[in-house]
Amino acid sequence: MLVESDGDPAARVAARRRPVHNLWRLRRYLRPYVAEFVWLLIAGLAGTAAGIAVPLVVQRVVDGPVARHDPGWLLQLGGLALLLGVVEAVLIFIRRWVQSSSAVGMEAALRADVYAHLQRLPASFHDRWQSGQLLSRITSDLSVIRRFLSFGVFFLVLNLTTYLVVVVLLIRLHLALGLLVAASTVPLLLITRRFARHYHTASRRMQDQQGDVATLVEETAQGLRTMKAYGRGPELAARFAVGARTLHDTGVGKGRLLANTAALLDLVPNLTLGVVLVAGAAAAARGVLSLGELVAFVSLQLMLIWPVQTLGWIIANAQEAATAADRVQEVLDTPPQIVDTPGALALPRDAVHGRLRFERVAFRYPGATAPVLREIDLTIEPGETLALVGATGCGKSTLLSLVPRLHEVSGGRITLDGHDLRDLRLNSLRRLVGVAFEEPTLFSMSVRENLTLGCPDASDEEVRAALALAQADFAYDLPWGLNTRVGEQGLSLSGGQRQRLALARTVLGRPALLVLDDPLSALDVHTEALVEGALRQVLRDSTALLVVHRPSTIALADRVALLDGGRITAIGRHSELLATVPAYRALLAAEPASAGPPASAGDIGPPPSVAPTSDGRGLVRS
Give the pLDDT score at 561: 94
Strands lying side by side in the sheet with 559-564? 433-436, 513-517, 543-547, 385-389, 559-564, 567-572
Neighbours of 559 (CB within 10 A): 17
Give the pLDDT score at 381: 92
DSSP 8-state class, residue 609: P
384: Cα within 13 Å, side-chain hemisphere:
17
DSSP 8-state class, residue 485: B
| Average pLDDT for the chain | 80
What is the pLDDT confidence band of residue 572, given thresholds at 50, 70 and 90? Answer: very high
Give the pLDDT score at 377: 93
Residue type, 372: V
64-74 pLDDT, tens digit each? 665 556 565 55
What is the pLDDT confidence band of residue 608, given thresholds at 50, 70 and 90? Answer: very low
DSSP 8-state class, residue 340: P
Measured CA to CA, the distance from residue 361 to residue 363 in angstroms comes to 7
Measured CA to CA, the distance from residue 434 to residue 352 in angstroms comes to 14
The radius of gyration of the chain from alpha carbons, rounded to an integer in Å, stands at: 35
**How far is residue 26 from each of residues 91, 109, 322, 507, 550, measured CA to CA in Å?**
28, 11, 10, 43, 53
Give the pLDDT score at 320: 85
Give the pLDDT score at 409: 93
Measured CA to CA, the distance from residue 573 to residue 155 in angstroms comes to 75
Neighbours of 397 (CB within 10 A): 16
Measured CA to CA, the distance from residue 45 to residue 593 in angstroms comes to 80
Give the pLDDT score at 403: 94
Question: Pairing relation of β-strands 559-564 and 385-389?
Answer: parallel
What is the average per-residue pLDDT within 544-558? 83
User: Is the pLDDT score of 548 beyond 90?
Assistant: no
What is the pLDDT confidence band of residue 615, given thresholds at 50, 70 and 90? Answer: very low
Q: Are the CB atoms for 11 and 326 separated by under 8 Å?
A: yes
Neighbours of 586 (CB within 10 A): 11
Give the pLDDT score at 251: 87
340: Cα within 13 Å, side-chain hemisphere:
12
User: Is the pLDDT score of 299 beyond 90?
Assistant: no
Measured CA to CA, the distance from residue 198 to residue 319 in angstroms comes to 9
E strands present in 300-418: 356-363, 373-380, 385-389, 411-416
Q: Is the pTM of this model over 0.75?
A: no
184-194 pLDDT, tens digit each? 889 988 888 88
Query: Which one is predicted more confidently, 297 or 19?
Result: 297
114-157 pLDDT, tens digit each? 999 988 888 888 888 888 888 888 888 888 888 888 778 888 88
Residue type, 394: C
What is the pLDDT confidence band of residue 568, given thresholds at 50, 70 and 90? Answer: very high
User: Is the pLDDT score of 606 beyond 60?
Assistant: no
What is the pLDDT confidence band of residue 607, given thresholds at 50, 70 and 90? Answer: very low
Q: Does domain 353-439+512-595 have CATH number 3.40.50.300?
A: yes
- Polymer length of the chain: 622
**How far is residue 14 from each of residues 20, 114, 361, 470, measured CA to CA in Å?**
11, 21, 38, 53
What is the pLDDT confidence band of residue 591, given thresholds at 50, 70 and 90? Answer: low
DSSP 3-state assignment of 377?
strand
Query: Which one is predicted more confidently, 79 or 214?
Result: 214
- What would be the CATH architecture of the domain defined by 9-212+249-332? Up-down Bundle (1.20)
Query: Which one is predicted more confidently, 561 or 527?
Result: 561
User: Is the pLDDT score of 491 beyond 80?
Assistant: no
Domain boundaries, the chain: 9-212+249-332, 353-439+512-595
What is the average per-residue pLDDT within 273-299? 84
